[in-house]
């Protein structure tokens, strides 16, 4: 009888990230619909632009969800280092979507500025207050999960929620100015949309940088490298270490290093020592998935 391989369950932190991505899809779908309807009925392009951003949030949450699911797959003969890069790739796609949304909003904002139109309706302010509160709460919860998991994709999804809250806040200010200023101030709403697009652009660039860094195998930030080195040096019979390299794939790390030991040590003892080094590193940094140790004679 053939036994079918069973995919291991994702880590709890990743599972929470997937669950929040799914919740984000549902919330963004409702908010996008509300914004579009309120923006059209209330003559507010800032609110319509906000609805466009929420629609992009739906797609981004789906991309993050898919990326996280793929990243938890077990390594195989085709992808011996696993599928962790799918997580960074998802974050990069989300960041690029933010930049594309900002460009589209900017173009439409300029068009609305030079085109006379009605002032926004007062009821749109109440809609925006609710949106800002919901999206800010969503940002804080999702970002906490992303930080705990060390997932840049989940953090990118969180910042997408924060950018949505900021665009809604800008729209609120713009509509308020248009209503208070009266005739001649209608374009304040559109200028607010333009400011929101600038904020979205900044967030998109901020998210794109770490995603590209992970895809390019840049040395991880923080104290990961120091903890790996300290754990290796602390192992008995290790005289010195060099050429320590760490790269990140999803929420996991892969380590390469050279370990120097007694030149007269037997091959078997050197093999045992390398195993101790691997165990020490994984104990010090649980996120380390693989360790490649190259043994060398000390002093040569």
Strands 252-261 and 240-249: antiparallel
Same-domain status, 68 and 168: yes
Classify residue 3: in a domain, yes or no.
no
Closest CA to 229 of 259, 250, 185, 264: 259
Q: Are 72 and 84 in contact (CB under 8 A)?
A: no
Domain count for the chain: 2
110-133 mean pLDDT: 79
Same-domain status, 26 and 138: yes
Q: Are 207 and 182 in contact (CB under 8 A)?
A: no
Classify residue 4: in a domain, yes or no.
no
Instruction: Copy the structure tokens of residue 187.
Output: 């374009």
Strand partners, 260: 240, 296
Classify residue 208: in a domain, yes or no.
yes
What's the 3-state SS for 44-106? CHHHHHHHHHHHHHHHHHHHHHHHHHHHCCCCCCCCCCCCCHHHHHHHHHHHHHHHHHHHHHH
13-52 pLDDT, tens digit each: 567 777 777 777 788 888 888 888 888 888 776 677 777 7
Classify residue 248: in a domain, yes or no.
yes
pLDDT reading at 257 higher than 90: yes
Instruction: Copy the structure tokens of residue 84.
Output: 């962790």
* Cα pseudo-dihedral 94, 96, 101, 106, rounded to 10: 150
pLDDT reading at 3 higher than 50: no
State which residues form the domain around 256. 224-297
Confidence at 116, pLDDT banded by 50, 70, 90: low
Classify residue 276: in a domain, yes or no.
yes
- Which of these three, 215, 239, 266, is where a domain ends? 215
Beta strands in the chain (DSSP E): 240-249, 252-261, 288-297
């Amino acid at each position: 009888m053939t036994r079918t391989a069973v995919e291991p369950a994702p880590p709890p932190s990743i599972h929470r990230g997937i669950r929040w991505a799914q919740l984000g899809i549902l919330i963004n779908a409702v908010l996008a619909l509300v914004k579009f309807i309120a923006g059209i009925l209330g003559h507010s392009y800032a609110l319509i632009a906000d609805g466009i951003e929420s629609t992009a949030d739906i797609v981004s949450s789906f991309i993050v969800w898919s990326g996280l699911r793929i990243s938890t797959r077990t390594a195989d003969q085709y992808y011996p280092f696993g599928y962790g890069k799918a997580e960074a790739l998802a974050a990069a796609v989300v960041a690029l979507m933010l930049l594309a949304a900002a460009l589209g909003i900017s173009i439409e904002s300029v068009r609305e500025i030079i085109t006379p139109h009605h002032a926004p309706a007062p009821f749109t302010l109440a809609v925006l207050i609710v949106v800002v509160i919901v999206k800010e709460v969503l940002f804080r919860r999702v970002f906490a999960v992303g930080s705990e998991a060390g997932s840049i994709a989940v953090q990118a999804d969180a910042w997408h929620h924060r950018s949505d809250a900021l665009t809604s806040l800008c729209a609120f200010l713009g509509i308020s100015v248009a209503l208070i200023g009266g005739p001649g101030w209608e374009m304040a709403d559109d200028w607010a949309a333009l400011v929101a697009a600038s904020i979205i652009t900044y967030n998109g660039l901020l998210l794109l940088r770490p995603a590209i860094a992970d895809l390019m195998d840049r040395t991880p930030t923080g104290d990961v490298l120091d903890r790996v080195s300290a754990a290796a040096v602390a192992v008995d019979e290790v005289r010195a270490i060099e050429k320590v390299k760490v790269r990140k794939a999803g929420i996991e790390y892969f380590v390469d290093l050279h370990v120097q030991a007694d030149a007269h040590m037997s091959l078997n003892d050197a093999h045992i020592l390398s195993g101790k080094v691997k165990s020490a590193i994984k104990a010090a940094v649980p996120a380390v998935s693989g360790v490649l140790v190259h043994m060398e004679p000390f002093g040569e």
